Structure 1
């Protein structure tokens, strides 16, 4: 089977329309249609069926798209293996969230050889993952929470980077509550909440903790910047989850959350078959080495 045709089928299964496939892969819709028709003839079974004015994958098409994940990964790995001794060179495109860029990625930049350069975009996990799946970046640094775990696409490989504890940020005048995370959160059942504007993960954690405490959180504010979240808290607009190690501004206190303890987990993700490409592999090695150093010094 032609791997290019398999890539078109897999992309169609993810994007849902030939027009979207043509835009992402830079081919005409006619080419997409013709190549998938040729693939159907090659495997001897229809892969598409009408769906109104559009088309959708048949059950056989969906099964072949699932197989295509592993086939394309093996193809990528084979290409990389043709020259395993090549010196790292080229551009590594990275999409990552703010903290990962500043605390994880930038500290290793000086270790890269001159032949390897980075192109970095600040993106929240949903955007970073979408760009990675569409092959618009080579590496994505994302995060989830232990109380809101992410389900990664099987076409991607994930490498854990670090974890951080999160606390409840409240105005300093707020009374202190002893007990578990549920007890602490329950004391603020009538308070407005602030959550991330670009990623739902911390909102899921808030809703999980609130559900354990027996109430529905009143989410009224959304902001991406932690500094802005702090400003909103001091302005009396609500409370929020924040990293326990984040520098606090005047007028804010952090209430520790235990049993359960919310923890953010950062990951580096690449498409399967790309981990042996010299330049991305070097960046991953540097990130892994930094993770090990940080883990040892934090014990």
Structure 2
């Protein structure tokens, strides 16, 4: 039903006269009568009945008027909640990879709680493919994802991806290995016959490895898959393969990270929202804080 028509019915229940309703709402008596008649047609029940020269609500009209008070109040609350200029309030659901939650989101929480106590964040750790699927299903409001510059992710037109920060990644190898000379292609060629370790829940590093390996003239033997970076390091220490690792912070003892240059490998973090949702006040606030925080720490 048209909620604007409910206002006419609620006012009629309060004032008892179409003329008084017309005066309060700034319309003609005929308009009041037409709007209530149209509402009756929408709900399929008579809402008023004549009593001499006046009208009164039918039992159905009284019940709908009672509902109308609640409905109109809820609509008003929804309008205020969705107003981009309103004070932010609500729960922002976030799915993202662990580093972005730890580095970008958690530092915001103390100041956010102090300045906007009615904004609440709930977080879930997910790899990019999982986080973007949750965003597409409207199960979260914000996805924190990553890609590598060598294998950029196509996000599509339905979402808005905002850059946050980037970090250099290198090739994690056993610490005892000799230091190969040359650019990234030469480094990869040195390890062409090794087993390779890639992510078990996301293909981003697998794609980056494939690009550099192709430039080096070989197809990598992808033997192990691990989601945890510490497990990747354990596999490397055990001599089971090599794999991409962040240059900073340094790896554990027994692993070294060979820098990759020309071309390099940089992980790029992105904050992704459904297009149009960024105007929702709580989400706009979190995005502004995320991008402002990232701008203060460029380069990594």
Provide TM-score, normalisation by structure 1.
0.71
Matched, 1:93 2:93: yes
Shift of 1:243: 0.7
Shift of 1:274: 1.0
Does structure 1 retain, via aligned residues, the 8 Å contact 2:165–2:270? yes
The corresponding residue for 2:110 is 110
The corresponding residue for 1:20 is none
Residue 278 (structure 1) aligned to one of 278, 281, 293: 281
Residue 249 (structure 1) aligned to one of 249, 252, 270: 252
State the SS of the aligned residue for 1:266.
strand
Instruction: Give deviations 1:244-275, integer Å, cap 9, x for gaps.
Output: 10331111111111110011110001111111
Instruction: Give deviations 1:146-186, integer Å, cap 9, x for gaps.
Output: 11100002110111000111101100111111111000010
Shift of 1:80: 8.5
The corresponding residue for 2:13 is none
Residues 1-299 of structure 1: pairs in structure 2 closer than 5 A? 83-112=83-112, 113-295=116-298
Give the 3 Å change call, closer, same or farther, for CA 192–82 of structure 1 in structure 2: closer
Does structure 1 retain, via aligned residues, the 8 Å contact 2:82–2:281? no
Does structure 2 retain, via aligned residues, the 8 Å contact 1:145–1:262? yes
Give the 3 Å change call, closer, same or farther, for CA 82–169 of structure 1 in structure 2: closer
The corresponding residue for 2:4 is none
Instruction: Give deviations 1:195-236, integer Å, cap 9, x for gaps.
Output: 000000100111111111111101100000101110111011
Instruction: Give deviations 1:45-75, integer Å, cap 9, x for gaps.
Output: xxxxxxxxxxxxxxxxxxxxxxxxxxxxxxx
Larger radius of gyration: 2
Provide TM-score, normalisation by structure 2.
0.71
Does structure 1 retain, via aligned residues, the 8 Å contact 2:81–2:89? no
Distance in 1 between the 2:82 and 2:118 partners? 20
Residue segments in structure 1 that go unaligned for 5+ positions in a row: 1-78
Distance in 1 between the 2:249 and 2:82 partners? 46
Does structure 2 retain, via aligned residues, the 8 Å contact 1:170–1:233? yes
Superposed CA RMSD in Å reads 1.5
The corresponding residue for 1:45 is none
**4+ residue segments displaced more than 6 Å:** 79-82
Shift of 1:81: 10
Q: How many residues align?
A: 219
Distance in 1 between the 2:85 and 2:151 partners? 41
Distance in 2 between the 1:123 and 1:238 partners? 25
Instruction: Give deviations 1:12-69, integer Å, cap 9, x for gaps.
Output: xxxxxxxxxxxxxxxxxxxxxxxxxxxxxxxxxxxxxxxxxxxxxxxxxxxxxxxxxx
